[in-house]
Structure 1
């Protein structure tokens, strides 16, 4: 005894299943692409914030150097820029120290943002912050100048 099956009926069922698989693959591909774009945007935002922190630190260090010309180490301008370092940078600190032979060093340190690469997590270790080693999670800008 032979069973008769309609070729048209089985072809329709197969076509419907194939269409659903194509739609599912298109949705998965769109979702993966969207996640990739979101990850790239988040990476760029994090790096832009880190660059802004470095820019603020360089501004404060340069202002410290300018304030040191013709002023004592306890002048009001130096105190003001040390205070601004704390406002502009996360846990920012600014200092000026003499390194001998009428040269000094302006140093600004701050804690890096969460998710940013730290000193122990990069391929090339960053140079020390002047004569002070940079602890993990801390970044710095150093400017040497003649008094």
Structure 2
């Protein structure tokens, strides 16, 4: 399993549950997404769980798998979905984890900064095309 870093999109809710500990957390600008070795997205990982040791991380995933098995018993109408999720998490917990390196975090921060700068510049240029630039040119022409 690996944790992949992604930019938080505007469509992402502000608070979501962590896949590892199931606690709600405020989503930072950089999302940590857990993928299994076969590239299946398991979900978001909170900043606290990203800091865990590999063994504690895996144990918490196994705890979540157990929680889904218990949910299957209390909600029989959705037991298939709960069992499937429990199996996914249990299988993922057996995989060796690859945490992002300091360099990967740094590169992602720079990428986000560059993307936001481009978006701001595009918005500024878009405004100039639709009024701001045109107004100052027309004023200059009237004074001639």
In the superposition, the TM-score normalised over structure 1's length comes to 0.25
Normalization by structure 2: what TM-score? 0.25
Higher helix share: 2
Based on CA coordinates, which of the two structures has the bigger radius of gyration? 1
